[in-house]
Amino acid sequence: MSTLAALRPRILRPVAPPPSRAVRLEGAAKQVLESSRGRLTLVAGTFAIAFAVVGMRLVDLALSKPAADAREFELPRANDATGYAADRADIVDRSGALVATSVPTASLYADPRDIKDAREAASRLKTVLTDIKAEDLETRLAAEGRSFVWIRRNLTPRQQYEINRLGIPGFYFQREDKRIYPHGSLMAHVVGFADIDGKGLGGVEQAIESRLKGGREPVRLSIDLRLQHIVRQELQAAITEFSAIGGGAVIMDARTGEILSMVSLPDFDPNAPGSAPADNRFNRNTLGLYEMGSTFKTFALAMALDAGTATMKSSFDAREPIRISRFTINDDHAQKRWLTTPEVFKHSSNIGAAKMSLEVGAEGQKAFMKKLGMLDPVSLELPELGKPKYPRDWRPINVMTIAFGHGLSVTPIHLATGIAAVVNGGILHSPTLLKRPEGEPAPGRQVLKPSTSENMRRLMRLVVENGTGKRAEAPGYWIGGKTGTAEKVSRGGYKKSARLSSFVAAFPIYDPRYVVVVMVDEPKGTKKTHGFATGGWVAAPAVQRIVQRMGPLVGLPPVEETPEMRRLLMVDSLPQPKEKSVAAR
Amino acid sequence: MIRRSTLLWLLAAVLIGCGLYQLKYEVQAKEERLARLNRQILQEQEAIHVLNAEWAFLNRPDRLADLANRHLEMTPVAPAQFGKVAAIPERSLVPIVADAEAPLIPQAAAATAPVKVATKPAPKLQVVEAKRSLGTVDVHQLRQAKPVERDVVVIVDGALLATVQR
C-alpha cells in the first residue's frame, strides 16, 4: 500500500482535510495547492463551455421550427393531394376522363431454396392458378442455385387471397403496378399499350415515355372520348355495311390541329395486346400510306387558285381523256365538255384537275406539297408515323396523277392536316394528340392566302350541295367536303376491285371548326348502293352521321341559312356558259 | 446542509427523469399514431385510385349507351330538338301600349291584371278587339310582324288581351 502510494504522482496524493482556520501554506505545499486549483478551473471551464453549448442547442431546438421533411425517411408519408403515387402517370382525355392508369397488384414469386417439395407445391398452386402447367412449374421451383422465380405477374385480389390461404412456404408476393385501359379498344391506337414492366410499347404510351415514367401529373390528350365512341361506332357500321377490310377516321380541330378523335379499325384491346392479330395494331391513320384519290383535288385546286394560274372563272377542256405515253386519264363522272373551276371540283374531274396542275408545273406542285407537309412524316406524339412516298423525279405524268391523288401516298392524318389548313384561312397547324392550353393561339404558319381558303370553302360546300358528296348533307350543319375513291395499288398496277373510299369534310363550312376524314378500306357495293362503293356512297353517309351526332355534343346547334352565309358560300362563276369561256386556256 | 441540497437535486432529477420518460412515451405513441394514419391515408388513396379506374371502366360510352337504351326512354339529341331562346315566348308582363295618353285598358283586361301603360300623349285610339286570352302568344313574332294595321296591342303575361287601332 505504501509502495503504491509512493508511486502515485504527488499531486494526486490525498490532501489532508482543510483546517478550520485559514492556514497559510508555504513552499511545496502551496505550489501543489495552486497547481491543482488551476487544473480544477480548467476542467470546470471546459465543462461549463460544454454545458453552455448543450444549453444553447436546447434553446435553439425549442425555438426553431422542425425542419420540413425531417421525418421523411422514418415514417410512411401520405401523398399530397394528387393521391396515389403510381410509377407511371395517368393518361386522361381532354375532359379529364381516365384513359390509362396504373393500379397496384400483387405478383407471385418463389424462392426455390425455401421450397421443400417442388412437386407438391406445384400441384397445390395449380388448384388456384388452374391454367398453369404443373410440370413446367415444378422444374422451375426445383431450380438449383436460384433464389427468385417469377410465377405469375399481376394476380387478381382473389387469386392473391387464395394463394395466401394455401400457405405454401417459399412463395412471396411482390407489389407491382399494372397498366390498365378502362376503355379497352376504344382508344387502342391512340394510347397504345405498355408491357408488364410498365414500358410503353406503342402509341402515346411509347412516344412520351419519359414524361409518363415517374410523372405525377396526368397527361391530357386532345381526344374527346365521346367523339371517339361515335366515330368508332359509325366507322364500324360503314365497314360492316360494305364488308370492308378496315377503315380509319379522324376528327381534327380545324383551328388548332388538335386531334379530337382517331379511330383505326380493326383494333385491339390494349389490356391484352397479344390476343388480337398483330395486323390489328397497325394504325391506318398515321402509319398507313394511301393514295388518297380525288380528295387530293382539294389541294390541286387550292394550289392553282393560290398560285393564280386559275381563278374561279377559269375553265378547262374536259371533252377528251388525256393520253400521255401509255396512260389515259379519264373522268369517272365524265361531262365531256368544258368545265369551269367549280365544275371541275363538283364533278371531280381528273382531266380538269390534271390540266390545272400542269399549269402550275412540277416545281410548283412539289413546293406546294412540301409546304403543306405532304412530303414529310407528320410530327405527332406517336411512334407509328408513316413517311410519305412520292416520285423521285417529278415528271408531268406525276404532276397530273398527283392532282387527283395518285402517285403520292400519305396518311389520313396528312390529309386531315392539309384540309384543315385549306379551310381555316390557310394556316397550317401541326397535328397533336395532346391538348393545347386553352386561350393561347395554336402555333401555325400561313401556307395559303385567306382568299384561296375562302374560295375552297365555297367549292367544298358545292360538292355537298349538289356534287358527288350529296349523301354527306346534314341539314343545319353546313358540311363542305370532297369525295375520294382510289384504286389500291397491287403488284404491277391498280386493282379495280380493291378500292379506298374516303370523304373529307369540314363544318360548319362558312367558318370551319372541325375537319372530319373517313376512309373505308376495300368496301364492296351493296344492293342499296346499286353496287357502288365509292367515297360518295360509302364514306359520305358515315361523315353525315358522325356530324349529326357530334354537333349537339360539341355545342353546335343546326343553324338556318343567313344572308351573310349565303354571301360566304356563293359560287358566282358556276352558271357560266361552257363554250364561251376559253380565255383561261 | 449538504444533504438537503443533494436530496433536493436528487428529487428534481427523478422528477425530470419521470417527466422525460412520460413525454417520450407520449411522443412515441403520437408517432405511432401518425404512422398509422399515414399508412391509412396511403391505403385510402390507393383505394380511391383503384375506384377511379373502376369508375372509368363503368363509364365506358358503349356501356352507358347500352344501359340508357335498356332503362331510359331517351334518345340522343337530334338536331331538330334545338331551338333559340329568342324563339320562346316571353312570360313577363310586356307593356306594348305605346303613345297612349289615357290609360287604355279594355274592360276585360282591367279586371284581371294591372297593365303598365306608357304616358306619352297620343291621338285618339280605339279598341278594336278585346279578348281575355288567345292562348300563348309569341311576343317576339308579335312585336315584329303582327301589328300591321293595329297600332297597339295589350299583352298581359304572355296573353294577348287587346289590340287597339288608331
Nearest C-alpha in B relative to A232: B62
Cell for A383? 411512334
**What parts of chain A have a pLDDT lower than 50?**
1-2, 72-75, 80-81, 574-585
pLDDT of residue B154 exceeding 60, the answer is no
Cβ atoms A351, A329 nearer than 8 A: yes
A294 among known catalytic residues:
yes
ipTM of the complex: 0.73
In the prediction, which pLDDT does A572 show? 66
Q: Looking at residue A145, what is its pLDDT? A: 78
Q: Cα–Cα distance between A318 and A337 in angstroms, integer?
A: 5
Place of cell 396523277: A401
pTM: 0.74
Return the domain boundaries, chain A. Answer: 229-584
Give the model's pLDDT for residue A22.
63
According to the model, what pLDDT value does residue A46 have? 96
**Is A552's CB within 8 Å of B76's CB?**
yes
**pLDDT tens for each residue of A533-579:** 888 899 999 999 999 989 888 888 888 888 888 887 877 654 444 44
CATH superfamily of A229-584: DD-peptidase/beta-lactamase superfamily (3.40.710.10)
Say which residue the cell 412520292 belongs to: A390
Cβ contact (<8 Å) for A103 and B79? no
SS3 B7: helix
Phi, then psi, of B162 in degrees rounded to 5: -160, 145
Pairing of the two strands A219-220 and A91-92? parallel
Question: pLDDT tens across A65-117, in order?
Answer: 766 555 544 445 555 445 677 788 889 999 989 999 988 888 888 888 888 88
Contact A86 B65 (CB under 8 A): no
Residue A515, judged by CB atoms within 10 A of its CB (0-12, 13-18, 19+), counts as: buried
**Rounded CA gap, A321 and A141, in Å?**
76
For A5, the enclosing helix (H) or strand (E) is: helix A2-7
List strand residue ranges (DSSP E) for A231-319, in order: 246-253, 259-265, 290-291, 315-317
Mean pLDDT of chain A: 85
Using pLDDT thresholds of 50, 70 and 90, give the confidence band for residue B76.
Answer: confident
**B56 contacts in chain A (CB < 8 Å):** 97-99, 101, 182-183
Q: What is the pLDDT of residue B107?
A: 44
pLDDT digits (tens, 9 = 90+) for A321-332: 888 878 888 888
What is B121-159 written as a DSSP string? Answer: --S--EEEEE-S--SS--HHHHHHTS-SS--EEEEETTE
Q: Please tell me the predicted confidence (pLDDT) of residue A251.
A: 96
Burial class (CB in 10 A: 0-12, 13-18, 19+), B8: exposed
On whether the CB atoms of residues A554 and A483 are closer than 8 A, the answer is no
Question: Which residues in chain B (45-104) have CB-CB distances under 8 A to chain A?
Answer: 45-46, 48-50, 52-57, 59-62, 65, 76-82
Which residue of B30, B44, B50 is the best one to mutate when testing the A interface, meaning the one whose CB has the most A CBs within 10 A?
Answer: B50
Backbone phi, psi, residue A569, to 5°: -105, 0
pLDDT of residue A567: 80
Please give the average per-residue pLDDT across B60-76, as a whole number. Answer: 86
Phi and psi (nearest 5°) for A441?
A: -70, 135
Give the tens place of pLDDT for each residue, B96-152: 544 444 444 444 444 444 444 444 444 444 444 444 434 444 445 444 444 444 455
